[in-house]
Amino acid sequence: MRGKNTVAKLKNKRASIKRVFSNIAWLCKPYWREKKLFFILYILFGVTITPIQDFIYVYFPKQIVDMLTRGDGFRKVATYALGILLISYILIILPIAFQRYFVKSGKFVNLKIKRSVYEQALGTDYRFIDNPEYYDKYVWALDEYAEQSKAAREQVKLFFTLLASIGVLFSLIAATAPWILALEAVQLFFHARIYKYQNPVQVAYKDALVPSNRRLNYIHRLFYQQQYTGDLKMSELPQKVFRMYDDASEEGLGIINTYEKKLNRYDIIHETLLALTELIIILYVIYLIASGRISEVGQYIALTLAFYRIDEKLIFLLRSFAGAHELSLNAEKIREFFAIEPEIEKPAPANALVPAAGSFSLKLENVHFAYPDSDFSLSDIDLEIRPGEKIVIVGENGAGKSTLMKLLLRLYDVSDGAVRVNGEKIQDYDIHALRKQIGVAFQTSNVYAMTYAENLAFYGKPSQEAMAEVTEKLGLTTIFEKNRADFDRELTREFSEDGIMVSGGEIQKIALARIMTKDFGLLLLDEPSSALDPISEDRLIKILLGEANKTTTILISHRLSTVRDADRILLIREGKIAEAGTHDELMALKGDYYEMFTTQAEHYVA
């Protein structure tokens, strides 16, 4: 039985070592993929230069002392010394000569790694976005992937460099005092045992700090981003934010205190072992000298220098094994993020459908949908929308209007039933090609630190004439008149002192301008005019719901005065279509829509 347990332990250990090497290789993969020559040269420099420097460090003083002891002349000794120093100088200068290449290449790979994290996040299904566990993995990957890859690169270089150096120093010591090597081996064994317990603590330490650091980063954004400035200056929000800051700080400091206390214990044990080993070896060397077993001063110098050098290298080698284990644990956490498999955002199969040009027809057949861990659900949604039809969806907050939009964008898949576009199931389409034919504008639209022209070019680059026409139609020309600017002026002042600052209403107009510069099969508009003044909103709604707009259009609105021109109005209540019809039909029904409309109208009449 004991034999079986021993075999099992050995198998587990081999599997663990294999996993460590696999994870380090995975971390190094970006360097091998993007800059193979740099990766090879970087390691080659360490493997060749450092061992030669170690040999010179140990052997050069011995040779000088031996030459002087033999009575060699000044010129001979000086010539020898200059030759060695010249070699040492070349070994120092050589990496410096390649420094620019190394720094640039390292930065290049670092940027590629960051981009790969963003690309993975972009390709992750929408359902993960609000998941704190996913967000922790994303933050960990974003913060750690580049650093851990660099550390893995250094680890590989260090490992092979140390092996080469130890080989050189081992040969020098073995000829004089092999007993020192045995003592070093005993010391390393105990260090290895300590690192085995220390490494998981270090990884858990980083992991424990992620939630509090996330909150601190969130607070940093609140004070940095303009959209929060008004609330911070005009309300009691700062007191709440500072309380959150203090709580997160206290939590983080508590974690630091707990884990640093644990790690300090391991550090003390490490240093105690090192000090005891050094004491034993120094006493042994003194004993050798006192007993006359080392008669030459040069030999003593070489042995002493070799001992300190190999002791340092062996400790580094041991730490490199410990570091490799820690790197492996960190790599596994990063790989968890990259292992997230999308169900919706995955590359489309070769036989995936691509939507034809022209307005979409839509059909929802007995659609059901529920969010995980939520009581909310859409149920029994049956709806058919003809090409070019203008549909307005109304209802109370939380009724399911925006969720319906997300199903039409296939940000989520239905739990039951089917969504059909032009008669075909939405799952049969190349989702990325389908979305390119859907124009979207939300209540909380954004402008970006790009030029106005670039902000409009989200769906392809429009012509100057098309931009000018939509800018005029939406009343955006005043932005450029008051700022004495053209379409190539940057929006926001994130990177440009003369950037154009725009209001909430202007942001919504710009978001609509984006979708009005291209022909789409479907427009999905979620309260796109909520920040506009009544006159601008009325003008905009007439454009969207008027006969000139031939695109199938679905509009969510809470201002019922703007929806009378829709072909149909749907009232959503508690996840179901409760009422459907034209404005006149719903008013005649005298149901919820009638009550909502008359309630709003009373305020205007009063």
Residue 230 is assigned to a structural domain of this protein:
no
Indicate if the pLDDT at residue 174 is higher than 90.
Answer: no
Residue 1 is assigned to a structural domain of this protein:
no
Residue 3 is assigned to a structural domain of this protein:
no
Identify the weakest region by mean pLDDT among 88-102, 181-195, 332-346: 181-195
Residue 469 is assigned to a structural domain of this protein:
yes
**Whether residue 306 is found in the same domain as residue 397:** no
Q: Predicted confidence band at 67 (pLDDT cuts at 50, 70, 90)?
A: confident
pLDDT of residue 104: 92
**What Rg do the C-alpha atoms of the chain give, in angstroms?**
35
Q: Which helix (H) or strand (E) holds 261?
A: helix 237-290
Encoding tokens for residue 172?
């020098």
CA distance 137 to 118: 13
Q: Which helix (H) or strand (E) holds 425?
A: strand 424-425
**Whether residue 318 is found in the same domain as residue 465:** no
Which residue type is seen at 63?
A: Q
pLDDT of residue 12: 60
CA distance 446 to 443: 9
pLDDT of residue 289: 62
Q: Using alpha carbons, select from 203, 194, 185, 175 the residue that is nearest to residue 20.
A: 203
Residue 269 is assigned to a structural domain of this protein:
no
Single residue among 501, 533, 565 that ends a domain in this structure: 501
* Residue 309, domain extent: 11-176+294-338
**Whether residue 28 is found in the same domain as residue 104:** yes
pLDDT of residue 430: 93
Residue 67 is assigned to a structural domain of this protein:
yes
The number of distinct structural domains making up the chain is 3
Measured between its terminal Cα atoms, the distance across the chain in Å is 91
Contacts of 77 (CB under 8 A, 6+ apart): 64, 67, 68
**Whether residue 28 is found in the same domain as residue 45:** yes
**CA–CA–CA angle 261, 266, 268 (5° rounding):** 90
pLDDT of residue 179: 67
DSSP code per residue over 136-178 = HHHHHHHHHHHHHHHHHHHHHHHHHHHHHHHHHHHHHHHTT-H
What is the percent of the chain with per-residue pLDDT over 90, rounded to a whole number?
A: 20
Indicate if the pLDDT at residue 549 is higher than 60.
Answer: yes
Q: What are phi and psi of 570, to 5 degrees?
A: -110, 130
Q: Predicted confidence band at 282 (pLDDT cuts at 50, 70, 90)?
A: low
Contacts of 496 (CB under 8 A, 6+ apart): 449, 490
Asked if residues 562 and 387 have their Cβ atoms less than 8 Å apart, the reply is: no
pLDDT of residue 11: 56
Contacts of 88 (CB under 8 A, 6+ apart): 53, 56
**CA–CA–CA angle 149, 152, 155 (5° rounding):** 155
pLDDT of residue 224: 67
Asked if residues 366 and 380 have their Cβ atoms less than 8 Å apart, the reply is: yes
40-54, 203-217, 437-451, range with greatest mean pLDDT? 40-54
Model's pTM, two decimal places? Answer: 0.74
Asked if residues 395 and 560 have their Cβ atoms less than 8 Å apart, the reply is: no
**Whether residue 469 is found in the same domain as residue 441:** no
b/e 71-106 (16+ beta carbons within 10 angstroms → b): eeeeeeeeeeeeeeeeeeeebeeeeeeeeeebeebb
Span 228-247, pLDDT tens digits: 766 676 667 778 888 888 88
Residue 254 is assigned to a structural domain of this protein:
no
**Whether residue 37 is found in the same domain as residue 98:** yes
Contacts of 184 (CB under 8 A, 6+ apart): 277, 310, 311, 314
CA distance 464 to 81: 74
Indicate if the pLDDT at residue 36 is higher than 70.
Answer: yes
Residue 401 is assigned to a structural domain of this protein:
yes
**Whether residue 439 is found in the same domain as residue 316:** no
Encoding tokens for residue 561?
């005065």
Span 140-160, pLDDT tens digits: 888 889 999 999 999 899 888
CA distance 531 to 529: 6
Helices (H) and strands (E) in the chain, counts: 18, 10
CA distance 284 to 437: 81
Question: How many CB atoms lie under 10 A from the CB of residue 539?
Answer: 15
Single residue among 338, 371, 399 that ends a domain in this structure: 338
Question: How many CB atoms lie under 10 A from the CB of residue 395?
Answer: 24
Q: Which helix (H) or strand (E) holds 60?
A: helix 36-70
**Whether residue 106 is found in the same domain as residue 159:** yes
pLDDT of residue 112: 92
**CA–CA–CA angle 54, 60, 65 (5° rounding):** 145
- Find the mean pLDDT for residues 115-132: 85
Q: Is 384 helix (H, G, I), strand (E, B) or coil?
A: strand
Question: How many CB atoms lie under 10 A from the CB of residue 498?
Answer: 10
**Whether residue 64 is found in the same domain as residue 142:** yes
- Find the mean pLDDT for residues 306-327: 75
Strand-pair partners of 577:
572
CA distance 580 to 569: 6
Span 572-596, pLDDT tens digits: 988 899 989 999 999 999 988 888 8
Q: Using alpha carbons, select from 396, 417, 395, 392 the residue that is nearest to residue 407.
A: 417
CA distance 355 to 361: 11
Q: Using alpha carbons, select from 3, 22, 8 the residue that is nearest to residue 325.
A: 22
Q: Using alpha carbons, select from 83, 62, 64, 67 the residue that is nearest to residue 306.
A: 62
- Find the mean pLDDT for residues 322-328: 81
- Find the mean pLDDT for residues 435-455: 86
- In eight-state DSSP terms, residue 227 is G
Contacts of 291 (CB under 8 A, 6+ apart): none
Q: Is 581 helix (H, G, I), strand (E, B) or coil?
A: strand
**Whether residue 535 is found in the same domain as residue 391:** yes
**Whether residue 388 is found in the same domain as residue 474:** no
Q: Predicted confidence band at 113 (pLDDT cuts at 50, 70, 90)?
A: very high
**Whether residue 466 is found in the same domain as residue 581:** no
